[in-house]
Structure 1
Amino acid sequence: MKVFVDATPIAINRTAVYHIAWDIIDYFSQKYDASVLIYDRICSSDEIEKVRMDCNTDLIRRAQKGVSDFLHSDWNRMKNNVRSDLGIERHCVIYLDPLYCLFDRSIDDSVVLVHDLTPLTYPSWHEPMVCESYKRAYEKIQESHASLVAVSHSTARDLWVNLGISRHQIRVAHLYHRKMKAHLTADSDDFTNREKKFLFVGSLEERKNIKGLIMAFHLSGLQESGFSLVIVGGDGYGSEEIRRLVAKIKGVKLAGFIDDRDLEKLYRTSWAFIYPSMWEGFGLPLLEAMARGLPCIASSHSAVKEVGADAALFIQSSDVGSISKALIQSSKWEPKERENYMLRSLERSKAFSFEKFISIIEDAVIEISARKSGEFFDVEHESQLPPSFLTFPWIEQFPKSFGDMPESHSEAYLILILQLARIRMERRFVELSKKDLDAKERSSVEREFSSIEFAIEARIRELKRLKNYKEGVID
């Protein structure tokens, strides 16, 4: 079984998760020799590097046109026809967005990264064509055996509540912030050299509640005391209304889409970060702001509260007065109070890391490999075991060393071990069949492996119960 990463999202937009998509591509390409899909083709390593350097290549333009044509075409005619000739159906595809599941006939042996369900739950925030396409994508996911990875517990709950997908089928992998050039400390100049400006980062779209933020800033009157509101992000659904409102309000600046260097400077020089979004699957700009020691004002619901925890000053996003009050309150912070918010932001950001995120996606891939044991394992050689699986020395002596197995193993690894035990039992029976064994000797071999199976399955059940307890799920 081979691993593919569907990188089509990098051709469509440059949202906050663009760099995370590249991290996933790099990790699985280097560790598992994964191939990269962009729309309807498997890309060479040279093509991928060109795309990394220039997001306006012929390959990207072709993918953009292809995706647009697909989404606007008659569904029955285009259904499952994009990648039917690539021969990837019996392999594992990592989808970075549920929408692109529509390109393939079967997604049973795939991993789907789910950000949010707002095209289904709040269709007025999106174009009708986008909502219809995601509706079809989630219907396909419901009917499949795909492994789902939600970027927050909030999104996992939405999958359960709105689609009836069991929490047992959903892993949660929180996103993470990119590494900075230098870590901040309380003695850093960045803690004191701040300008009188509030910063918002995100697409110009209705669900981000930018119009509510602009009205709250106007209501606060802080522009009269030298404060400004800087809004960074490209156009999204509803951007025209936002632009018209900005033109009427003093002290508000639309910076548009800016490069990483300029964004880093804004993060490090702003007075506070404001994130009044109506709903988020995660809220990566909030995490990036916290990682840069920026005091944060954020919505008190969805995944935003999950990410901000006790580090942010929370508001009611639907209440312009609540947002305005928080802006005024933050403008009056004394140095020590503001420093306290900065330190809390930095501390909270440490809870999120690439290592935690990627390990959960990797576990999902390994579990699929175990599920497809007939293809993934060679009974004679076991040559295709995951590299990370083979790093544990006790594997060489398995099953004799089963008692030395680390307690911390994930469910996916235990499933792999269970498959390995069954394969080795079968091989041993083949070997013993060549000898004259009486019933007692054969029964002894069967009991040995049955006890191993029982122990592994018990450990798997224990892990599931522990996971459900932590997430508050009742079996």
Structure 2
Amino acid sequence: MDAGSKKLNVVFSTDCIKYPLTGIGRYAFELAKQLRERDELSLTFLHGTSVRDSLAVASESAQSVQSFKRRLQKSKAVSEIYRLTYPVMKTFALRGFKNHIFHSPNYYLPPRVKHCVATFHDLSVFHWPQFHPAGRVHLMQKELRNTTLRAAMLITDSHYTKKELMEFFGIADERIAVAPLACNESFHPRSETDVQSVLKKYNLRWRNFFLYTGTIEPRKNILTLLQAYDRLAAHEKSAFPLVISGYRGWENEQLFKLFDKGEREGWLKYLGFVPGQDLPLLFSAATSFVFPSIYEGFGLPVLEAMASGTPVICSNATSLPEVAGNAALMHEPEDIDALTTYIQMMMDNAHEKQRMIDTGLLRAREFSWSLCADKTIEAYQQVAKYI
């Protein structure tokens, strides 16, 4: 930064940094940590309706607060009052920060706040409304349309989502910056000795299981994964069980029938939500990571697997080719035969596995939170021209 340059004053929203850290929460937390270290920024944080100097940390102790909020939101009257008043309270909280840039890392912007930046992670609520709870779709669409009108600049995780924003809303190229995500340093290759405790905890064997991690919801295409796995020979499934980690976001009768079948027959282990400290160890201990998602704004688990030295099988849908490059075995999302073939290949072909591990590690090094912060600051600088 030039000696005479002014610092950029930024208020960064931290509402999505809550336990457990999901994809957007992880993005906001890692990006905020990077931005906090940059000399060219003066950074404060909007948490709820209060502006503070310290960055919120997601902890298990906050879970009781979250569950209380969820109980309140189940009341229609309370939920409606909250929906109408909360954005206005945020606007009020920001009234003394008129010469600051306000960045929401999770789509939503409060009304009548100038110099705003918002991160759009995907457009699934418009393109795949059936993948969202029906009651929320209309409201989410309305809020996201508002955001495109309120924001001075938009940030996306991928060029794919940028293209979607330009085509769907007619937004000019120069109003959208791309800041690719990264994974944190806990995702790296490990030895069998390093992961013994986690293997023992979940009753797994080193490099003898396939891993899927993510919320159990329709767009993740887990039904296709289970159907592909079910086609394997009994001895293959027994030797290499499928391990699934993630919240049950949606109830799907056909899906959970296959869950039950797999668990009964011993080829599927559903772990539910896995603590953050266990996940990187599971990634590095797996034979391969499988991610047949239909729609992703980025696809962070693919990057986490590559950084862990684990081969990736994933769909060729939406932004995933941007992340995986030539390091993954890619298939059409609904192609059960190809997915089954690739799973067998990762059981049998040691040479191909090693090639994918080496290529994946090189690919993962192209992404960093430092680069994400650089691209984000470039977006802030565009907005600062008008302050």
- Shorter-chain TM-score bucket reads 0.7 to 0.9
Pairing 1:94–2:109 present:
no
Comparing both structures, which one devotes a greater share of its residues to helix? 1
* 1:8 to 2:24 alignment: no
Give the structure 2 partner of residue 349 of structure 1: 364
From 310, 315, 322, the counterpart of 2:338: 322
Residue 393 of structure 1 corresponds to which residue in structure 2? none
CA distance in 2, matches of 1:324, 1:290: 20
CA contact (8 A) 1:11 1:64 kept: no
Pick aligned residue for 1:197 from 182, 199, 209: 209
1:7-406 aligned within 5 A = 7-11=14-18, 14-31=21-38, 32-43=41-52, 45=54, 48=56, 51-52=58-59, 54-56=61-63, 58=65, 72-73=79-80, 77-78=84-85, 80-88=87-95, 90=98, 91-98=100-107, 100-101=108-109, 104-180=110-186, 194-221=206-233, 223-238=236-251, 242-249=255-262, 250=265, 251-333=267-349, 335-372=350-387
Q: TM (normalized to structure 1)?
A: 0.69
SS across alignment from 2:33: helix
Give distance in 1, aligned partners of 2:18 and 2:123: 21
Q: 1:244 to 1:55 in 2, by over 3 A?
A: farther
Unaligned 5+ segments in structure 1 are 373-475
- Whole-Å Cα distance in 2 between the matches of residues 183 and 216 of structure 1? 27
Could you give the per-residue CA deviations for residues 415-455 of structure 1, whole angstroms, max 9, x where no partner exists? xxxxxxxxxxxxxxxxxxxxxxxxxxxxxxxxxxxxxxxxx
CA distance in 2, matches of 1:252, 1:142: 43
Structure number with greater CO (CA < 8 Å, separation at least 6) is: 2
Query: Could you say if the C-alpha distance between residues 11 and 241 of structure 1 is closer, same or farther in structure 2, counting changes exceeding 3 Å?
Result: farther
1:348, distance to aligned residue in structure 2 (A):
0.8
CA contact (8 A) 1:175 1:353 kept: yes
SS at match of 1:94: strand
CA contact (8 A) 2:188 2:284 kept: no
Aligned 8 A contact 1:152 1:282 in 2: yes
Structure 1 residues 261 and 136: CA distance shift in structure 2, 3 A: same
Query: Distance between the aligned counterparts of 1:181 and 1:283, measured in 2?
Result: 15
Structure 2 distance, partners of 1:146, 1:340, is 44
d(CA) in 2 for partners of 1:270, 1:176: 20
**Contact 2:187–2:304 at 8 Å: present in 1 too?**
no
Identity %: 23
1:247 aligned counterpart, secondary structure:
helix
Q: CA deviation at 1:262?
A: 1.8
Cα displacement (A) at 1:107: 4.6
Does the 8 Å CA contact 2:94/2:113 hold for their aligned counterparts? no
Query: Which shows bigger deviation, 235-244 or 165-174?
Result: 235-244
Alpha-carbon distance in structure 1 between the residues aligned to 2:77 and 2:340: 43
Q: 1:62 to 1:43 in 2, by over 3 A?
A: farther
Aligned-partner Cα distance in 2 for 1:70–1:30: 42
Deviation at 1:183, TM superposition (A): 5.8
Q: Is the 8 A contact 1:25 1:36 kept in 2?
A: no
Change (3 A) 1:24 1:173: same
* Distance in structure 1 (CA, Å) of the matches to 2:101 and 2:182: 24
More displaced stretch, 132-141 vs 29-38: 29-38
**Number of equivalences:** 362
Q: Deviations over 1:35-88 (max 9, x none)?
A: 22222232463x835x55743364x56766787779942799548423232134
Alignment partners' CA distance in 1, 2:188 and 2:208:
24
Give the SS at the match of 1:203: coil
| Residues in 2 aligned to 1:76 and 1:56: alpha-carbon distance in whole angstroms | 21
- 1:142 CA displacement: 3.0
Stretches of structure 2 lacking an aligned partner (at least 5 in a row): 1-7, 196-204
**8 Å contact 1:204–1:239 — kept in the other structure?**
no
Query: Normalization by structure 2: what TM-score?
Result: 0.83
Displacement of 1:257 in angstroms is: 1.1
Instruction: Tell me if the contact between 2:190 and 2:281 (Cα under 8 Å) persists in the aligned partners.
Output: no
Q: Write the distance in 1 (CA, Å) between the matches of 2:51 and 2:151.
A: 24
Preserved CA contact (<8 Å) 1:275 1:286: yes
The structure that has the greater radius of gyration is 1
CA contact (8 A) 2:232 2:340 kept: yes
Aligned counterpart, 2:200? none
Larger mean CA deviation between 254-263 and 337-346 belongs to 254-263
Distance in 2 (alpha carbons) for counterparts of 1:70 and 1:287: 42
Amino acid across the alignment from 2:207? E
CA shift in 2, pair 1:133/1:12, >3 Å: farther
User: Aligned to 1:83, what secondary structure does the other structure show?
Assistant: helix
RMSD: 3.1
CA distance in 2, matches of 1:292, 1:71: 44
- Say if 2:43 and 2:53, in contact at 8 Å, map to a contact too: no
